[in-house]
Amino acid sequence: MSHAQTYFQEAAQVCSQIDTARIEAMAQTLAEVRERGGRLFIIGVGGSAANGSHAVNDFRKLCGIETYAPADNVSELTARTNDEGWETVFSGWLQVSKLNEKDAVFVLSVGGGNAEKNVSVNIIRALDLARERGASVLGIVSRDGGYTAKVGDVVVVVPVVNPDRVTPHAEGFQAVVWHCLVSHPKLQVKATKW
């Protein structure tokens, strides 16, 4: 079997194993955030940060949810990293944005954060602030879901079907799940062009 055949066979396995009830619950939570006039803050690092940028557009344009990705502001991100450290780049950003109980923090991450292994601690700090402020916590993660799965209200864990391809499937399915959400009848308020 070719690499492409194997990869897409694995993707089909993820599709058949993903928890669609959690995706439905996430759509409901996002609809509630919009109804209460809350904002959606999408955080992630690396490829997940890039996915967050794209998702911001879709949630704003198609769903009418006021949405932001702190990683999009490279000047603030790098200034905070330089002056305060990487661990607090998102929590510092969210503090200035006056994160509150109407809002939601939406994590896109492969591992979801792990303090013991010192991985994605900036996500952990942001989630601690979200919990402190009463904001909803959502996530699309993989592996065991990490800290995001432990503290989140609704977290979709992308199943691991091949330990050698956790990252590509996790980041690829972030896009699949958020596109499912932005086309969901509970959320979509504007049709796509095509």
Distance CA 83, CA 30 (A): 34
Longest dimension (CA), the chain: 52
pLDDT of residue 66: 98
Extents of the domains making up the chain = 3-182
- Which class would CATH give 3-182? alpha beta
**At 134, is the pLDDT very low, low, confident or very high (cuts 50, 70, 90)?**
very high
Low-confidence winner among 15-19, 35-39, 178-182, 190-194 (lowest mean pLDDT): 190-194
d(CA 127, CA 107): 9
83: confidence class by pLDDT, cuts 50, 70, 90: very high
* Percent above pLDDT 70 for the chain: 100
User: Under DSSP, is residue 67 helix (H, G, I), strand (E, B) or coil?
Assistant: strand
Per DSSP (E only), the strands in the chain are: 40-43, 67-68, 104-108, 136-141, 154-157
- 147-175: per-residue pLDDT in tens? 999 999 999 999 999 999 999 999 999 99
What pLDDT score does 110 carry?
98
Measure the CA–CA gap between 161 and 186, rounded to whole angstroms.
Answer: 30
